A = this chain, B = another copy of it.
Amino acid sequence: MTKYKPLKEKEAIEYVKGIEGLFDDDAELSCNEIGDGNLNLVFHITDQNSGMGVVIKQALDHVRIADDWPLTKERVKFEYTAMKIQDELTDGMVPKVYKYDDEMALIVMEDLSSMKVMRKGLISGIKYPHFAEQISTFLSKTLFYTSDLYMAPKEKKERVKNFINPELCDITEVLVFTDPYFDAESNNINPELRPYLEKEFWRKSELRKEVTVLKEKFMTRAQALIHGDLHTGSIFIDQKTLKVFDTEFAFYGPSGFDIGAVIGNLILNYASWSGKEVSTEFKADYREYLLDTIEDIWNKFEEKFRKFWDQEAHETTKAVKGYQDYYLKQLLQDSIGMGGCKTMRRCIGMAHVEDLDGIENLSERARAQIFALKLGEIMVTRRKRLATITDFIKIVRDLTAWEDTTNM
Contacts and interface: CB of A to CB of B under 8 A. Distances in A.
A285 B148 CA distance: 45
Contacts of A148: 216, 219-220
Contact of A166 (B153, B164, B166, B323): B153
A121 B54 CA distance: 71
Contacts of A66: none
Contact of A322 (B154, B169, B209): B209
Interface in A190-209: 205-206, 208-209
A182 interface: yes
Contacts of A205: 320-322
Contacts of A182: 316, 319
Interface stretch (A42-50, A77-85, A155-163): A155-163
A234 interface: no
Q: How many copies does the complex hold?
A: 2
Contact of A170 (B154, B161, B167): B154
A254 to B, nearest CB: 9
A213 interface: yes
A173 B153 contact: yes
A354 to B, nearest CB: 29
Contacts of A221: 220-222
Nearest to A319: B182
A208 B170 contact: no
Contact of A323 (B161, B164, B212, B322): B212
Contacts of A208: 320-321
A358 to B, nearest CB: 31
Given A169-B157, A173-B153, A326 B209 contact: yes
Contacts of A326: 209, 213
A406 to B, nearest CB: 28
A223 interface: yes
A209 B320 contact: yes
A178 interface: yes
Contacts of A219: 148, 153
B164 A157 contact: yes
Interface string A137-171: 00000000000100001100110110011110110
Contacts of A173: 153
Interface in A168-184: 169-170, 173, 178, 182
A90 interface: no
B323 A213 contact: yes
Contacts of A220: 148, 221-223
Contact of A167 (B154, B160, B209, B320): B154
Given A209-B326, A212-B323, A170 B153 contact: yes
Interface in A236-289: none
A301 B388 CA distance: 38
Contacts of A400: none
A317 interface: yes
15 contacts: A148-B216, A148-B219, A148-B220, A153-B169, A153-B170, A154-B170, A157-B166, A161-B161, A178-B316, A182-B319, A205-B321, A208-B321, A209-B321, A212-B317, A212-B323
Q: Which 6 A-B pairs have the closest CB atoms?
A: A154-B166, A157-B166, A205-B321, A161-B164, A209-B322, A212-B320
Given A160-B164, A208-B320, A220-B223, 16 more contacts: A148-B219, A153-B170, A153-B173, A153-B219, A154-B166, A154-B167, A154-B170, A157-B164, A157-B165, A157-B169, A158-B166, A182-B316, A205-B321, A208-B321, A216-B327, A220-B221
